[in-house]
Amino acid sequence: MDILEIRKDIDDIDQKIVSLLNERFSLSYKIKEYKNKSDYPIIDKERESQIISTLSKSIISPMKLEYLKNIYSEIFSASRDLQKETKVAFFGLEYSYTHIAAKKFFGSSSLFFANDTIEDVFKMVQNKNALFGVVPIENSTEGSVNNTLDLFLDSEVKIFGEIYLDIHHNLISLNDDIKELKKVYSHPQGLAQTRIWCHTNLKNVEFLEATSTTKAVELAKLDKSIGAIASFMSAEKNNMNILAKNIEDKPNNQTKFLIISLMEPKKAKKNKTSIVFTIKDKVGALFDMLLPFFENNINLTKIESRPTKRKAWEYVFFANFIGHKDDEIVKKAMHELEKKCLFLKILGSYPLEEF
């Protein structure tokens, strides 16, 4: 076969694909009526995972699972958009890491709204100006994003889901000569995650904090003597030079992002629950808090403390565990925990994200 014959076969297949997509989207639109009547969640990540799992068994080389996931991510996104306009608020500017994580979770057909602060994201969701919000919660190198944790205390928003993103930092600038840089901006997490590389390779450079990595890029666009530590996509979008790639100090650098909403997700086969609580000021109080998890055989995956900011030396505890708030053993454990602590709040039960 010559190239024209091959292309003719591809054109024929493309017509069939579009015809089948027409059918699929027609059926997706019919589901809209069901979801409106039954208050069914607009996003069902477990259903999407089941579809990918089933279809992956039909993959034949040179087709790859990665290609299938990327294609269906957009099909799912478009199907949801047919059913309900999905407005998503995210922290940072366009092509910040949080924006990239948001697009990975929701696909490109959602409407994305940039926000200068994490607090603004919470407000947009709280005030129903966005159906969902996306905020960073933890980095594998630098630990928790404390501002995100603190905002859950006084907000009604819940955790709807989570997503992990591999973080690869790049040094970018209008300049094409790294030796001419005088200042480098990035988000505090970006600076912390590239600390060793920066101090090894940028001896006489001043490092300055920006509210986000994309804000750092905006500052770098003002002056050729300024660099920014940001994503590869930020450099592409702004037509800037990448002076060094993948400069993160840890090669397995990941950040976890939370999807927040006033809605609750559909219960999945594997779930995680997040809570926050305060303890009574007495000897052994924290031990007493952990007993309900041990006695009910619940896997507590994380616990950390934060100052309440209301009273000196008073702390709140954030915890994650495997299970759903509607499971009987979880209900029992929460009932026992509530009797022991001063304050208890369930931040959400949501599908467990494998990473």
For 275-298, how does the pLDDT look when each residue is reduced to its tens digit (9 = 90+)? 999 887 777 788 888 999 999 999
Residue given tokens 């709280």 in the structure block: 126
* pLDDT number for residue 308: 73
Please report which confidence band the pLDDT of residue 312 belongs to, taking 50, 70 and 90 as the band edges. Answer: low
Give residue-wise pLDDT tens across range 86-110.
999 999 888 888 999 999 999 999 9
Task: Please give the single-letter amino acid code of residue 148.
Answer: T
Question: In whole numbers, what is the pLDDT of the chain averaged over residues?
Answer: 92
Please report which confidence band the pLDDT of residue 36 belongs to, taking 50, 70 and 90 as the band edges. Answer: confident
Residue 316 has which token pair? 């709140």
Burial of 199: CB neighbours in 10 Å, binned 0-12, 13-18, 19+: exposed
CA gap 48, 80 in Å, rounded: 11
More confident residue, 311 or 42: 42
* pLDDT number for residue 92: 85
* pLDDT number for residue 71: 96
CA gap 106, 122 in Å, rounded: 18
Please report which confidence band the pLDDT of residue 146 belongs to, taking 50, 70 and 90 as the band edges. Answer: confident
Please report the beta strands in 156-312, taking only residues with DSSP state E, as ranges in sequence order: 158-166, 170-173, 183-186, 206-209, 226-230, 241-244, 254-261, 271-278, 300-307
Q: Is the peptide bond before 136 cis (omega within 30 degrees of 0)?
A: no
Please report which confidence band the pLDDT of residue 37 belongs to, taking 50, 70 and 90 as the band edges. Answer: confident
User: Mean pLDDT highest for which of 149-153, 236-240, 321-325, 335-339?
Assistant: 321-325
Closest CA to 211 of 193, 191, 194: 191
Instruction: Count the helix, strand and coil residues of the chain and give each as a percent rounded to the nearest 5.
Output: 40, 25, 35
Give CA separation, 244 vs 6, 16, 217, 239, 323, in Å. Answer: 41, 44, 15, 15, 43
Pairing of β 132-139 and β 87-91: parallel
pTM to 2 decimals?
0.86
Give residue-wise pLDDT tens across range 211-268.
888 889 999 999 999 999 999 988 988 999 999 999 999 888 899 999 999 999 989 9
* pLDDT number for residue 143: 79
Sign of the dihedral through C-alpha 105, 32, 113, 243? positive
* pLDDT number for residue 355: 52
More confident residue, 127 or 250: 127
CA gap 27, 295 in Å, rounded: 47
Share of the chain above pLDDT 90, in %: 72
Burial of 349: CB neighbours in 10 Å, binned 0-12, 13-18, 19+: buried
CA gap 124, 106 in Å, rounded: 17
Share of the chain above pLDDT 70, in %: 98
Q: Are 306 and 316 in contact (CB under 8 A)?
A: yes
CA gap 327, 5 in Å, rounded: 59
Q: Are 247 and 262 in contact (CB under 8 A)?
A: no
Closest CA to 316 of 348, 345, 283, 282: 345
Q: What is the mean pLDDT of residues 186-203?
A: 93
Instruction: Tell how far CA 219 is from the center of its chain.
Output: 25
